[in-house]
């Protein structure tokens, strides 16, 4: 494949990296896609949730080939390091190229799933890449529960073959995925008035975090769960009162930082400091392979608080921290190494009236997803709390016969003299929802090597993007069933 054609992909990725596209802030990127289509005289459709469908006619000789849907999502997870000044609502992503890798300056890169948008724009703008009739579907709000896909009008699409470009490992083809659901447990806050300047902040940092589906099996620490353990252990050393807790930014990212604002009754803080140092050693031992840089800090705050959580609120808080499930719940018996079900306590936040515990649960088996939700519901009931569920999406089931899967395997073998890995993914792909909207659909998901998605360490392999692009173009070239 001509190098210049591949560079078009990178050019489009750089262009969209200048456009704000956090979930729920997608108007500008959606309008950019619409304007691109209009400028190139393509048929385009934009719905109320900002999903965009762009249609391009087949190139010469492919008029009788089946229409192909190319699919990805426009939004990205917006995370940044604490010391980075960046406003995701207006600032462009600052791209950094270091050898084969492209990353961002202290923020998420947005290759998940900006690379799909770049692939689609490159194909749409090409004049000399042979392909069948194409329907590009770029959805919104994927990262907050696949909400855009849920709103897609399937009657606007004619294609039955769908290529999803939202996978993150070269040479791995996904043919099924987990379904998911999100839950929210709220602890009503009752306060007690207090005047005390013995005010500290307990801060947990240094965790790797990661995608709550893709990295859930890597034994990475969850800062919210760690903070709960710290508070539980400190309650056995000395009495203290909690004024505020927080941790995590996205429910589908393993949280990297957590904070508790507390007031200690004991003026002698040395015993508390020793306790925190001991807990820090325990955590570093437990997570020495996955999160060796865990740090627990006790920081004196020069401020005076006038209210703290009541004893009842604090007791429920520590209990919920301690008992809320996190991590892998079961492994697949059919696919070696595949996580079957899991849950992630992604966000803890203190509002004026409630403390919110927000979790994301995934499973490739619907009944196991229900089982985990029932466990959280029962825990909430025991603590006399209310739980709500939302953003549910179905799993994508494996099909025994698949034309597009066979074609991807055949071409991979021809190009690289090796077989690709055919597997499932323990994450939510929009294929599950779209397979219900597109009758008799035939789908596959693939993509280049992307690392540490949903974290500021996210990076993409440029050579892998090139390999994947060449592979992608060859697939389009060979889809020609007359």
Helix, strand or coil for residue 269? coil
Q: Is 47 a catalytic residue?
A: no
The answer to whether the beta carbons of residues 243 and 305 sit under 8 Å apart is yes
Q: Which of 335, 360, 393 is the endpoint of a domain?
A: 393
What lies within 8 Å, CB to CB, of 250 at 6+ separation is 77, 79, 143, 346, 347, 454
Catalytic residue among 26, 79, 135, 142: 142
Position 4 scores a pLDDT of 62
| Residue 126 and residue 115 in one domain | yes
Position 266 scores a pLDDT of 67
Prior bond to 92 cis, omega within 30?
Answer: no
The answer to whether the beta carbons of residues 219 and 44 sit under 8 Å apart is no
| Residue 387 and residue 256 in one domain | yes
Q: Is 113 exposed, middle or buried (0-12, 13-18, 19+ CB in 10 A)?
A: buried
| Residue 344 and residue 467 in one domain | no
| Residue 291 and residue 350 in one domain | yes
Neighbours of 100 (CB within 10 A): 14
Hunting for tokens 């539980």 — which residue is that?
232
| Residue 71 and residue 215 in one domain | no
Position 1 scores a pLDDT of 42
**Residue 277, phi-psi category: left (phi > 0), alpha (psi -120 to 50), beta (remainder):** alpha
Domains contained in the chain, number: 2
N- to C-terminal Cα separation, the chain = 25
**Can you spell out the DSSP letters for 42-67?**
-EEEE-TT--EEEEEPPPTT-TTSPP
| Residue 399 and residue 474 in one domain | yes
Q: Is 466 a catalytic residue?
A: no
How far from chain centre, in Å, is Cα 354? Answer: 25
Q: 447-459 b/e with 16+ CB inside 10 Å = b?
A: bbbbbbbbbbbbb
CATH of the domain at 36: 3.40.630.10
Strands 199-205 and 295-300: what pairing? antiparallel
Q: Which of 345, 362, 393 is the endpoint of a domain?
A: 393
330: enclosing H helix or E strand = strand 327-331
Q: Which of 342, 366, 393 is the endpoint of a domain?
A: 393
Tokens (6 digits) for 145: 């529960």
Q: 160-191 b/e with 16+ CB inside 10 Å = b?
A: bbbbbbbbbbbbbbbbbbbbbbbbbbbbebee
Nearest to 146 by CA among 375, 429, 370, 475: 429
The answer to whether the beta carbons of residues 357 and 348 sit under 8 Å apart is yes
Position 3 scores a pLDDT of 46
| Residue 158 and residue 260 in one domain | no
Position 427 scores a pLDDT of 86
Dihedral of CA atoms 295, 296, 301, 304 in degrees, nearest 10, equals 150
Hunting for tokens 């090796």 — which residue is that?
418
Q: How far apart are CA 333 and CA 317, in angstroms?
A: 36
Nearest to 291 by CA among 356, 171, 209: 209
CB-facing half-sphere around the CA of 85: CA atoms within 13 A: 0
201: enclosing H helix or E strand = strand 199-205
Report the greatest alpha carbon distance in the chain.
82
Q: Domain range spanning residue 468?
A: 3-178+395-478
| Residue 469 and residue 341 in one domain | no
The backbone torsions φ and ψ at residue 152, rounded to the nearest 5 degrees and listed phi first, read -65, 135
| Residue 208 and residue 350 in one domain | yes
Catalytic residue among 75, 135, 257, 291: 75
Per-residue pLDDT of the chain (482 residues; tens, 9 = 90+): 444 678 999 999 999 999 999 999 999 999 999 999 999 999 999 999 999 999 999 999 999 999 999 999 999 999 999 899 999 999 999 999 999 999 999 999 999 999 999 999 999 999 999 999 999 999 999 998 899 999 999 999 999 999 999 999 999 999 999 999 999 999 999 999 987 778 899 999 999 999 999 899 999 999 999 999 999 999 988 889 999 999 999 899 999 999 999 998 766 788 899 999 999 999 999 999 999 999 999 999 887 778 999 999 999 999 999 999 999 999 998 888 899 999 999 999 999 999 999 999 999 998 999 999 999 999 999 999 999 999 898 999 888 899 999 999 999 999 999 999 999 989 889 999 999 999 999 999 999 999 999 889 999 999 999 999 999 999 999 998 54
Position 481 scores a pLDDT of 58
| Residue 226 and residue 318 in one domain | yes
| Residue 25 and residue 166 in one domain | yes
CATH of the domain at 191: 3.30.70.360
Q: How far apart are CA 109 and CA 454, in angstroms?
A: 8
| Residue 200 and residue 349 in one domain | yes
């Amino acid at each position: 494949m001509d190098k210049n054609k591949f560079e078009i992909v990178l050019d489009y990725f750089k262009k969209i990296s200048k456009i704000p596209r956090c979930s729920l802030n997608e108007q500008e990127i959606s309008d950019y896609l619409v304007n691109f289509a209009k400028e190139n005289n393509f048929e385009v459709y934009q719905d109320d949730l900002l999903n965009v469908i762009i249609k391009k006619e087949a190139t010469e000789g492919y008029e009788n080939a089946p229409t192909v849907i190319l699919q990805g999502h426009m939004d990205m997870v917006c995370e940044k390091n604490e010391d980075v000044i960046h406003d995701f609502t207006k600032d462009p992503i600052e791209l950094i190229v270091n050898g084969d890798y492209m990353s961002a300056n202290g923020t998420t890169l947005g290759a998940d799933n900006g690379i799909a948008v770049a692939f689609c724009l490159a194909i749409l703008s090409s004049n000399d890449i042979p392909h069948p009739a194409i329907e590009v579907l770029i959805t919104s709000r994927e990262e907050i529960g696949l909400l855009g896909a849920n709103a897609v009008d399937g009657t606007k699409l004619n294609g039955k073959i769908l290529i999803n470009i939202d996978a993150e490992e070269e040479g791995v083809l996904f043919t099924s995925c987990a379904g998911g659901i999100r839950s929210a447990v709220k602890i009503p806050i009752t306060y007690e008035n207090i005047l005390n300047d013995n005010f500290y902040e307990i801060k947990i940092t240094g965790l790797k975090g990661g995608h709550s589906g893709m990295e859930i099996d890597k034994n990475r620490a969850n800062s919210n769960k760690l903070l709960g353990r710290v508070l539980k252990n400190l309650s056995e050393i000395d009495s203290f009162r909690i004024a505020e807790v927080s941790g995590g930014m996205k429910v589908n990212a393993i949280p990297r930082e957590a904070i508790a604002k507390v007031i200690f009754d004991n003026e002698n803080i040395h015993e508390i400091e020793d306790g925190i140092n001991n807990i820090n050693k325990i955590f570093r031992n437990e997570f020495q392979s996955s999160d060796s840089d865990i740090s627990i800090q006790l920081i004196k705050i020069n401020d005076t608080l006038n209210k703290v959580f009541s004893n009842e609120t604090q007791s429920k808080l520590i209990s919920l921290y301690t008992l809320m499930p996190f991590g892998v719940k079961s492994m697949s018996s059919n696919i070696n190494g595949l996580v079957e079900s899991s849950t992630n306590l992604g966000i803890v936040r203190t509002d004026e009236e409630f403390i919110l515990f927000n979790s994301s649960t995934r499973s490739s088996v619907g009944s196991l997803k229900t089982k985990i939700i029932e466990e959280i519901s029962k825990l909430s009931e025991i603590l006399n709390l209310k739980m709500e569920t939302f953003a549910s999406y179905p799993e994508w089931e494996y099909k025994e016969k698949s034309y597009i899967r066979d074609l991807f395997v055949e071409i991979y073998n021809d190009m690289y003299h090796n077989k690709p890995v055919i597997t499932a993914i323990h994450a939510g792909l929009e294929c599950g929802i779209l397979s219900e909207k597109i009758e008799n659909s035939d789908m596959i998901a693939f993509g280049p090597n992307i690392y540490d998605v949903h974290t500021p360490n996210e990076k993409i392999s440029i050579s892998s993007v090139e390999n994947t692009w060449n592979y992608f173009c060859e697939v389009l070239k060979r889809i020609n069933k007359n």
